[in-house]
């Protein structure tokens, strides 16, 4: 039996009857919410492409907005497949959103506002580096109670040499 299944079975035995009843309902609401986010994101992307076609040009801010939509979709897909939300993806989205904000409104910003947004982007980028370092240095253990499976958590098998 897979260690995740053992862990999930053990968790189900320790759940109250109310939670055993509510858990499937919460899971269904979660899936419906994720599907709604995906559908709305796709619709927004289509609208953005329509605006570009109407205008007859593509601007950098349009490309950044499309990138944000793709990142939101990637986040939904990863969460649906693994049951985990990698914190780096929302940080990437925030970095791109801040960059897009600066590009769109730079003419109306004073130096302090530009500096503040730039510092925020650097802090977010440093946070991504720290998280990446932490995940490689201290990966999740298999059966740690989280849903899904991390590639780094798979046990490595050693090949036996034949003589």
- The answer to whether residues 65 and 48 touch, using CB atoms and an 8 Å cutoff, is yes
CA dihedral 144, 146, 152, 158 (to 10 degrees): 50
Band of pLDDT at residue 82, cut at 50, 70 and 90: confident
Distance CA 8, CA 6 (A): 6
Over range 141-147, report the average pLDDT. 53
* Domain residue extents for the chain: 3-141
Q: What are 11-34's pLDDT values in tens digits?
A: 555 678 778 888 889 889 999 999
Please state, in angstroms and rounded to a whole number, the distance separating the CA atoms of residues 98 and 120: 8
Residue 106's pLDDT is 85
DSSP states along 142-159: TTSS-SS--GGGSPPPPP
Alpha-carbon gap, residue 18 to 122, rounded angstroms: 45
Tell me what pLDDT residue 10 has: 47
DSSP tag of 160: P
Where is pLDDT greater, at 55 or 61?
A: 55
- For residue 58, the model assigns a pLDDT of 93
């Amino acid at each position: 039996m897979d260690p995740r299944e053992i862990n999930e079975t053990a968790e189900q035995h320790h759940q109250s009857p109310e939670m055993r009843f509510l858990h499937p309902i919460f899971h269904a609401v979660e899936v419906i919410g994720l599907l709604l986010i995906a559908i709305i994101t796709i619709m927004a992307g289509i609208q953005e492409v329509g605006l570009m076609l109407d205008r007859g040009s593509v601007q950098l801010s349009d490309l950044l907005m499309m990138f944000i939509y793709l990142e939101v979709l990637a986040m939904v897909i990863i969460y649906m497949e693994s049951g985990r939300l990698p914190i780096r993806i929302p940080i990437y989205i925030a970095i791109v959103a801040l960059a897009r904000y600066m590009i769109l409104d730079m003419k109306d910003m004073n130096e302090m506002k530009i500096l503040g947004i730039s510092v925020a982007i650097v802090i977010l980028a440093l946070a991504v580096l720290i998280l990446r370092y932490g995940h490689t240095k201290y990966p999740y253990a298999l059966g740690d109670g989280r849903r899904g499976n991390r590639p780094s958590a798979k046990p490595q098998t050693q090949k036996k040499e034949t003589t």
